Structures are given as C-alpha cells and as structure tokens.
Amino acid sequence: MPDKLNIVPFVSVDHMMKLVLHIGIERFLVELAGYIEADFRRWEIFDKSPRVASHSSEGVIELMPISDGDIYSFKYVNGHPRNRREGRQTVTAFGLLADVHSGYPVLLSEMTILTALRTAATSAVAAKHLASADADCMAIIGNGAQAEFQALAFKAVLGVRRLRLYDIDHAATEKCRRNLAGMGFEITACNSAEEAVEGARIVTTVTADKQKATILNDNMIGAGVHLNAVGGDCPGKTELHRDILLRSDIVVEYAPQTRIEGEIQQLAADYPVSELWQVIAGLAPGRRNADQITLFDSVGFAIEDFSALRYVRDQLAGTGLYEPLDMLADPDEPRDLFGMLLRAQLA
C-alpha cells in the first residue's frame, strides 16, 4: 500500500476481478459476510442517514454516506433499468474510504462488481438468522446480473445446493445456469415464477424493472418460507403482493430508508418491522418456528458498502492489485498551494 499521504490506492475493475479470483469467490463472500455482520453489530456507533437520491424518469443516481467515527465512506451508485436496451449495466458504482481524523481519502474503488458481492453477502447474513436451518433449495426469480452472486453467497454461507431459476427472458436463465455450471449446484430452469417457488424454502426476487410489480402473489408463498426481496429498491418499485407482507415477519436494514424505497412502502408508515442489526444482536427475534414466513426487505444500505470497502482495503497489502493515484495536492508548505502551482510551471 502507498506510504505517501497524497497517494491514494485505486482498485480498478480489472484489479477488483483479479482480487476476487485471487481470494476465491466463495471465500470472498464468506469473509465479506463476516465483515458485514460485525459492522451491523456495531450499528449504534455509526452516523447514519438515508441515501441522497436524485430521481429522473430514466432512473436514479444516489450517494450513500456513513461513518463509524474513525472511517468515513460513501458510494456513488445509479439505477437505470432502461440501460440494458443499449447494452449498458443497469447499476454502476464507485466508492471511497477516508480517514475521519484527517479527512484524507485512503481508498478509491470500483463498486459495480463489489456492490453485487456485498448485496449477496448481506442477503446471506440475513438468511442465516431468518431462514430455516435445513433450507437447501432456493428459487431465484430474476436471473440478471445479481443472480449468480446470490446463489454463490447462499451456497457458501448457508449450504444451499439446489436452485430453481426463472426469468421472463429465458436467455437470462440460460446465462445464469451456464455461469453456475460445475459450481456444485443442482439447477432447475423453470417456466414461471409459480413453478420456481415449488419446494423452495428460500425465495429471492431480484428483478430490475422500475415499476410497482407483482412478481409473487400471496398464494405462491407457503408456511416456512424465507423471502429475500432484493429488487424493490426505490420509490414506486416493488415485487411482492401486499398480502404477503401482512403474513410475514419483516426485517429491514434501516427503516427510515426502507419505508421510502422497499416493499414496506406499500404499508402504513408505522407498520412494525425489525432492523437487521437488532436480529443479529438478539434484540429482535429471527426465525421462531418452522411455519413462520420471514421477509428480508433489502434495499441496500451504506454500512454494507462501508464493510465491503474496509474488507477490500484489508486484502490489498502485498497483492499489488491497485493503482497509486496522485489525487491530493501536497505542497511542502501546506499554506503555499499557489507556490506549488507556480513551481510546476517551472519544472
């Protein structure tokens, strides 16, 4: 890692891919899940706020800041479902870690790949506390960019081996099945969401359209199921029928944000929900019995990005998988910034 204060390590997309493969995808997800769970246990010390969102008819651009008093992080992320029509990613991101005491950045990183990893790892952390311990079959409805990450996180953290896949675009399902071939799964491609949920004790919804949708109807969800609702993540975008919510014990990341963006935007503003940190800390119940329906209403929260960036920073030493960026002016005399500019002209 750079030892000059003005040099900031930058993890590019290429370096991130190499880092993940160097560590191993499943090990990366397990260790990242550990960082996320540890930071959720420290929940009360964080300076938290809902993300700052700029919405348009095409999508949303958001900033997600958080600090634990020593380290500050933010992520820039977009969500533009129509991008896929032009061959672009619907979600892209980058993020930064900084030292609170000096204000100096200490890491800049791509976060398109890292967000997919941290989203999957967070889903697995929640399911560890909410799903039945013997659940080994998961339906994934929506087989786009996030699906494989979800599958591998649930395999690595919970031991899920059987997958039932469905997407309205059959090519997406084939892509997912092809990518996961040889990774220890028994995979069934399904022709409908109804077929996909048959026999699944865990149901993950991760669709992309920015609209109020009903991916799952009430009669599709039986007793004992854990729902991992990932796709509903902005105002006006949902995936589950309201009646499912009324039958479920609901856990969210940060209620002030989820009430605006998550499935629970369909419910009254004071409808009771638990936050994930409370379940992890034992302050709210997780799974209580075999017949309980649990719902993790996941919209993504800044603490997960904080954990992910912290994990990446801790893995970089000795790898060389970063680029040193000269991004901070560092004059010999801190007050002589203009002199530094003049000396550059003479150099």
Active site residues: 233
Nearest Cα to 40, choosing from 323, 327, 290, 302? Answer: 302
Question: Residue type at 267?
Answer: L
At 243 the three-state DSSP class reads helix
Are 262 and 252 contacting, i.e. CB atoms less than 8 angstroms apart?
Answer: yes
DSSP-assigned letters across all residues of 159-172: ---EEEEE-SSHHH
Residue 308 makes CB contacts below 8 A (sequence gap 6+) with 32, 35, 36, 95, 111, 114, 115, 117, 118, 121
Which of 81, 47, 106, 111 shows the shortest CA–CA distance to 233? 81
In order, the DSSP letters of 49-115 are ---EEEE-SS-EEEEEEEE-SSEEEEEEEEE-GGGGGGT--S--EEEEEEETTT--EEEEEE-HHHH
